[in-house]
Amino acid sequence: MPPRLLRVVGWGSAAVLGLLTVAVFVLVLIPAKNAVLPTRIKYGLVFDAGSTHTSLYIYRWPAHKENGTGIVSQVEACSVSGPGISSYADDPAGAGASLKPCLDKAMQIIPAEQQRETPTYLGATAGMRLLREENSTKAERIFAEVSKAIGQYPVDFRGARILTGSEEGSFGWITVNYLLQTLIKFSFAEKWEHPQDTEVVGALDLGGASTQITFQPGVPVEDRNTSVFFRLYGTNYSLYSHSYLCYGQSQALKMLLAALHQASSSAEISHPCYPRGYEENLTVAELYDSPCVHAPSSASPGLVLRVTGTGDPAACGTAVRSLFNFSCGAQGPCGFNGVQQPPVRGQFLAFSGFYRSLHFLNLTGGQSLSLVNATIWEICNSSWEQVQGLFPTSSRRQLRDACTAISYTLTLLLQGYKFNSTTWPNIHFVRQVADIDVGWALGCMLNLTNIIPSEPLTAVTELPRSIWIAATVLLAIMLILTFCLLTAMCYQRSSSGYEQL
């Protein structure tokens, strides 16, 4: 064989062998690393129908990571105009109509081809719980109207219902720990792992008609009514959770005013938590329009009551504490009103009304308990004119209730939930985590769409499109070179035969 032809054959064999080695590496070793094909985004909608207002939350997440965590983002939070849906007891159609502007907004955000597969929920909380107790027929009519309104849109509507207090507290706890990645997080090894030596965080929620506390206690909880069990990502969680109906901020302030009215035994009410010089009129019917307050039998619904603020911090604190029964008796540690509660433990995120009350006075930055108390004393000792000067852009209602709301919030946390000067720094007042509003809505969606699985799922391995293309090109080159090598070998054989002839 001529030396040149020998070199061609040698180089061709070496090239084929080298490409075969590369191809084997590409097709065998690369798939061992998790990689996924690009996928589209999925969406979910949750209506948070609270006692004082309703919000629509629009979430999205990568479809191929549906069973992961830390990947849900909040696209939009649309505030529904008007009061909470429970306020439409005598106009149920109005409850449904109130949701439409936010649904129209959602349809502008979610691609048309994905709308029919978008899971949509409406969860109502303590406002509708109270209405159901007062008049179940009116509550059912409201749900029928809101379901009818949502059903007119091309979404995967999965129902409207009242959440239990335990669900509301538990979903809030899931939201908090999901966002903080204390349940599971993406590690440097590029896989989802349960964080080691990471404590879960407790959740404190204050709505308009109820308040919830949920945390992982340091001792077993014997009362089944306050015990919640989860198995998330292969880890068991035993939680304490309780919801106090009528102890949301709006209803508590109404209970306080009713107690002051009944103590006065007249149409003149002195309110120690309202600023000095503040005055307003309201009827007995307006005051006693909730199952949380009961009008005296002798009170005429049309009677006009005159309320005058006295701005007395000490008397305000005494009046607020009178709403609670802090006695635990022989049953052991409790929160209030005889409900058992183990000692609070660990870090807590306080959101909703807890955050709003302190944020109004710029007290959400980790201020000491002594500074918070001093600020409360100052605001509760102010006149109506002084309060208006301090907060010129705030509404009349916000200014009227500033002292009452912050006094109630602090009493609930310290005397009610049994935080103290030592554990106070463990409470972190937040509205959002990672640009997502903190509340029960996200936890509800995660639970109902199984984005949080009951057991960890095995990762699915797929090859990216680019790797398949590269492998195809390499195989094509191999075939061409093999063809050239075979041609050269045939030429070499024919040449040898010619030489022999």
Total Cβ atoms within 10 A of residue 166 = 18
Residue 120 scores a pLDDT above 50? yes
Per-residue pLDDT at 265 = 81
Cα separation of 230 and 173, whole Å? Answer: 11
Cα separation of 48 and 56, whole Å? Answer: 6
Per-residue pLDDT at 470 = 57
Tell how far CA 220 is from the center of its chain: 26
The three-state secondary structure class of 283 is strand
Per-residue pLDDT at 380 = 98
- Residue 82, judged by CB atoms within 10 A of its CB (0-12, 13-18, 19+), counts as middle
Strand partners, 244: 211
Q: What is the pTM of this model?
A: 0.81
Residue 450 scores a pLDDT above 70? no
Winning range, highest mean pLDDT, from 48-57, 67-76, 194-203, 223-232:
48-57
Helices 249-264 and 396-411 pack at an angle, to 10 degrees, of 90
Residue 13 scores a pLDDT above 50? yes
Please state the rounded mean pLDDT for residues 406-420. 98
Residue 26 scores a pLDDT above 70? no
Close Cβ partners of 111 (under 8 Å, ≥ 6 residues apart): none
Average pLDDT of the chain?
85
Per-residue pLDDT at 32 = 41
> Locate tokens 């901020």: which residue?
249
297-341 pLDDT, tens per residue?
888 999 999 999 999 999 999 999 999 999 887 777 899 999 999
342-368 pLDDT, tens per residue?
999 999 999 999 999 999 999 999 999
**pLDDT class of 402 with cuts at 50, 70, 90:** very high
Residue 24 scores a pLDDT above 50? no
**By mean pLDDT, which of 78-92, 179-193, 297-311 is the weakest?**
179-193
**By mean pLDDT, which of 5-14, 76-85, 119-128, 432-441 is the weakest?**
5-14
Cα separation of 489 and 112, whole Å? Answer: 61
Please state the rounded mean pLDDT for residues 169-176. 95
**pLDDT class of 384 with cuts at 50, 70, 90:** very high
Q: pLDDT higher for 490 or 466? A: 490
Contact, 298 vs 314, CB < 8 A?
A: no
Q: What percent of the chain has pLDDT over 90?
A: 67
Q: pLDDT higher for 273 or 468? A: 273
Catalogue the active-site residues.
168
Structure tokens belonging to residue 60: 């999205």
Please state the rounded mean pLDDT for residues 401-408. 98
**pLDDT class of 164 with cuts at 50, 70, 90:** very high
- DSSP class of residue 477 equals H
Q: pLDDT higher for 241 or 481? A: 241
Residue 184 scores a pLDDT above 70? yes
